[in-house]
Structure 1
Amino acid sequence: MRLFSKPMRAAAAALLLLTGAAAALSAARPFRPKPVVIAYVGGFRGLIPDPASIAVEKLTHINYAFVDVQRGEAWLTNLATDTVNFRHLNALKSRNPDLKILISIGGWSWSENFSDAVLTDAGRKLFAHTSVDIIRKYGLDGVDIDWEYPGVAGEEGNVFRPEDKQNYTLMFQAIRASLDSLEKETGVKKLLTTAVGGGKYFVEHTEMAEAAKYLDFVNIMSYDYKTNPNGIAGHHTNLFGSTDNPEESSAHRSVGLFLDAGVPAEKIVMGIAFYGRGWKVGSDTARGLNRKATGGYRGGGYAFIKDSLPAKGFERHWDKRAKAPYLWHPGQQVFISFDDERSVKEKCRYVKKHDLAGVMFWEYSSDPKGYLLDAINKAF
């Protein structure tokens, strides 16, 4: 009995050839994992408001901010609320079983004790042990270090010293060793990541090529490029520079600095600001862009910027060169820099084009309506 006619056999053969060619092409292409989307979720104010509303289906990681450093140990300063927050965040895995939850240690306000904590081998082991003990106790997935900043001043009063450069690397070595021990206990992969400043100062005071060997992701804080209320009003989270100055801060320049410092592209995560920064300026020239400021102005979270400020006389403009939006109020002479859906799309396109690991953002509660997270989700 003939199962197939001659034309059918010919069609089947052609289909097999096409399938084989597609398989060969697929095999030749390097595997590119889907970009990560890391949300910093703040617990430093107390209980996370309405944690069930977090759109975890659109996230790959949550970095819980922050855990303090006290007496050389990773320390839950807000123990009563932190433990409740951990329980609520873990419950979100019922909606996204692949979600990873990390503790983020430090931040702007709690980085003053890093230098002392990791000064000696014994100190590093204690800090590593207490960091990992938190994720062991509460069933979390990893540790994120947000030291602002090794080797240079961050917040006024922070301790820093030249030895931070080597101790920064040795700290990660110690934490990775403790995480490896936990992995053997649980049989589950544990993550080690870090948030880094986006400027040249950071790579000059660290050994990023060595540190990266222990890290899963390097989260570049590609925002807060301009913060001085009496400095220059300009973009604080721009993708590219807006001037001819090759030293102008931008996410593109930050990525280049860390690539040149030896961090692999597949470990680099680009930062997105879910908030704005504002300045009052003395002149309406260029709608305030790159003009001398006379004082600061509250920018607010993105949902507030999008929903409230246009009705108050603010005009939105787009800087084609920087791939960044800004608001200008001609009457009050106020300039506000921020990320919006268009700039987020540009950043995500850049991440995919340059084979970076993905994006992260600070901070989830600044955009409760999910405008920017939706834009990230659509871009990826």
Structure 2
Amino acid sequence: MKKKLTLLILSIIVFISSYTGASYAENASLPSKRIVGYFAEWNIYIENNYYEVSDIPWDKITHINYAFAKIENGKIAIIDKWAAIQKPFGDDTWDTPIKGHFGQLIKYKKQFPNVKTLISVGGWTESKYFSDVALTEESRTIFADSCVEFIRTYQFDGVDIDWEYPVSGGVATNIRRPEDKQNFTLLLKCLREKLDAAGEEDGKSYLLTIAAPAGSYNIKNTEPELYHKYLDFINVMTYDYSGSWEDVANHLSPLYMNPNDPSYPERKEKFNVDWTIKEYLRHGIPADKINMGVPYYAAGWEEISGGVSGLFGTSSKTLNSTQFHYINGLLQAADSGFVRYWDEDAMVPYLWNPATATFYSYDDEVSLKNKCNYVMDNNLGGIMIWELSGDYPEGGGNTLTSVIYDSFVTAKNEMYGDVNGDGKVNSTDLMFLKRYMLRVISDFPYPGGKRLADLNGDDNINSTDYTILKRYILKTIDSIPIN
């Protein structure tokens, strides 16, 4: 009995320490929301923007998704063994059991035990065999068992499924079937059961997540209302709304719709972060399970004619995506000819060079801050980054990630009723609240003001909130009730 009690207590401690959301908020140095960063295996090579595990801003993220593993003979498998487990780093010796990126992840996790690591399976180029492994109960079991063995061997904290995409879409050589829609849910169910069973044996809670599509068509080919219950959280790929596959220069990851977008009506309405996030919420997914994806890269076009400073213009030559630090270099170079513009409707920047008719769409510090505010205002789970090496090298190489981290750490110190963000709740806040209710102002001075003004948590800002705030200021109540 004593042994069982000890094991039970140990399991509870391990469960509490494994972060899936709000538990981070109790530590002042850790963010109140998830910050999930993808680490790309191929960046180990000089020509691919050399980036090591040691370059990851471990103190500013909560989860690392290692991209990618593949499917081979119905099981999870390493893509590049040299990069993953063989290349020696630092103090590795000939008999170090696990070298490469995996070995480095294991070492750094000892310094940053709160950061969880997941192996991501698939991605754009390695989703060919998902339909096969999801097809039958036997194939799902074989794959799930191999994932359990994999994360035990290489000491990951969970599995991230990046199937791009069930039923249709993705690389032309992908195997696809109509029944992928249901089989995707069944695959996640099987993985959840196998990971939970392994977790009970190992005394820990293994994570299961997915990278979910942003496009309405691909969302319809899955069952979010069913599969979400098997997942710890969902990383929504809210980017690539436009890119090199089309000849119109448009936004890569707009937060909102631009009413001047000349696209056909459905695209105009749905090709933005806000629509995608709300679509998943409409499927009944709890807000705190949803992570908004943000790009650390840019989409580009050149030889553009028409449009407004290139935006919505037609291009005769598309450009490959490029990392954000390249964009930052263009901004810093006095003779680059590029000018930064801001789309007030879409809430994102873009670059335009009139001499070369070249246009880049991307996210920067300002748009990222706005997206972090959106996460807070809508009670989402956090932010997902594709991918970490895109951040620019100045300031330690994690400037963009610092914006996200600072947003979520600062948010923990917010007080309901402090609608102007000065750290106090007083008559000034009451004045701003009144002016907002009377529509004298359309927003509060502080980006999170709308959230902090909803004092009874009913998703409305009205006279009830005003009364609560007034009573609190007059000290007729000791605390502001939420709910």
Q: TM-score, normalised by structure 2?
A: 0.70
Match of 1:39 among 16, 37, 40: 37
* Residue in structure 2 matched with residue 119 of structure 1 by the alignment: 135
Answering whether residue 243 of structure 2 is matched by residue 249 of structure 1, we say no
* Residue in structure 1 matched with residue 213 of structure 2 by the alignment: 197
Q: Measure how far apart 1:46 and its partner are.
A: 5.0
Partner Cα separation in structure 1 for residue 342 and residue 230 of structure 2? 39
* Residue in structure 2 matched with residue 59 of structure 1 by the alignment: 61
Deviations 1:258-298 (A, max 9, x none): 11122211100000100001012432530111222212124
Partner Cα separation in structure 1 for residue 311 and residue 270 of structure 2? 14
Q: Measure how far apart 1:338 and its partner are.
A: 0.4
Match of 1:85 among 86, 98, 101: 101
Answering whether residue 288 of structure 2 is matched by residue 266 of structure 1, we say yes
Matched-pair identity in %: 38
Partner Cα separation in structure 2 for residue 214 and residue 276 of structure 1? 33
Answering whether residue 356 of structure 2 is matched by residue 337 of structure 1, we say no
* Residue in structure 2 matched with residue 240 of structure 1 by the alignment: 256
**Cα pair 1:124 1:174 within 8 Å, conserved:** yes
Partner Cα separation in structure 2 for residue 182 and residue 241 of structure 1? 44
Answering whether residue 356 of structure 2 is matched by residue 358 of structure 1, we say no
Answering whether residue 101 of structure 2 is matched by residue 103 of structure 1, we say no
Q: 1:32 to 1:41 in 2, by over 3 A?
A: closer
Q: 1:226 to 1:304 in 2, by over 3 A?
A: same
Is 276-285 or 311-320 further displaced after alignment? Answer: 276-285
Partner Cα separation in structure 1 for residue 51 and residue 297 of structure 2? 18
* SS in structure 1 of the partner of residue 178 of structure 2: coil
Match of 1:294 among 299, 308, 316: 316
Deviations 1:196-228 (A, max 9, x none): 110111221011111100001110101111124
Greater share of strand: 1
Partner Cα separation in structure 1 for residue 204 and residue 212 of structure 2? 26
Answering whether residue 169 of structure 2 is matched by residue 149 of structure 1, we say no
* Residue in structure 1 matched with residue 372 of structure 2 by the alignment: 348
Partner Cα separation in structure 1 for residue 44 and residue 341 of structure 2? 36
**Cα pair 2:302 2:319 within 8 Å, conserved:** yes
**Cα pair 1:176 1:214 within 8 Å, conserved:** yes
Partner Cα separation in structure 2 for residue 379 and residue 225 of structure 1? 25
Match of 1:328 among 348, 352, 364: 352
Partner Cα separation in structure 2 for residue 96 and residue 238 of structure 1? 33
Q: 1:329 to 1:229 in 2, by over 3 A?
A: farther
* SS in structure 2 of the partner of residue 285 of structure 1: coil
**Cα pair 2:296 2:385 within 8 Å, conserved:** yes
Which 5+ residue runs of structure 2 have no aligned equivalent? 1-21, 26-31, 86-99, 409-483
**Cα pair 1:229 1:293 within 8 Å, conserved:** no
The one-letter code matched in structure 2 to 1:210 is L
Q: TM-score, normalised by structure 1?
A: 0.88
Q: 1:32 to 1:180 in 2, by over 3 A?
A: closer
* SS in structure 1 of the partner of residue 305 of structure 2: coil
Is 68-77 or 319-328 further displaced after alignment? Answer: 68-77
Deviations 1:55-79 (A, max 9, x none): 1010000000000011211111323
Partner Cα separation in structure 2 for residue 355 and residue 198 of structure 1? 19
**Cα pair 1:222 1:271 within 8 Å, conserved:** yes
Partner Cα separation in structure 1 for residue 24 and residue 343 of structure 2? 31
* Residue in structure 2 matched with residue 75 of structure 1 by the alignment: 77
Deviations 1:335-366 (A, max 9, x none): 10001000000000000000000001111111
Partner Cα separation in structure 1 for residue 321 and residue 69 of structure 2? 26
Partner Cα separation in structure 1 for residue 155 and residue 218 of structure 2? 32
**Cα pair 2:254 2:273 within 8 Å, conserved:** yes
Which 5+ residue runs of structure 1 have no aligned equivalent? 1-29
Is 290-299 or 146-155 further displaced after alignment? Answer: 290-299
Match of 1:319 among 324, 343, 351: 343
